Amino acid sequence: MVWYEWFSRIEEAIMREKQIKGGSRKKKEALINDLNPDWRDLWEEVADW
């Protein structure tokens, strides 16, 4: 896992997922680079949520 976003409501998460899936690969890579420019594995950060 190299990118994530947090939402308090499932409806918001689903809307965002659809928005991202409809975007280009370049936009998806930009999202990752903004949060995680080294493309580290972020699983440990979210594993205990």
* Integer Cα distance of 4 and 40 in angstroms: 12
pTM here is 0.78
What is the rounded distance in angstroms from the CA atom of residue 14 to the CA atom of residue 27? 18
Q: What's the confidence (pLDDT) of residue 45?
A: 87
Q: C-alpha distances in angstroms, 1 versus 7, 22, 40, 46?
A: 17, 20, 8, 9
Q: 2 CB contacts (<8 Å, ≥6 apart)? A: 32, 36, 39, 40, 41, 42
List, for residues 3-43, the tens digit of each pLDDT value: 999 999 999 999 999 999 999 999 999 999 999 999 999 99
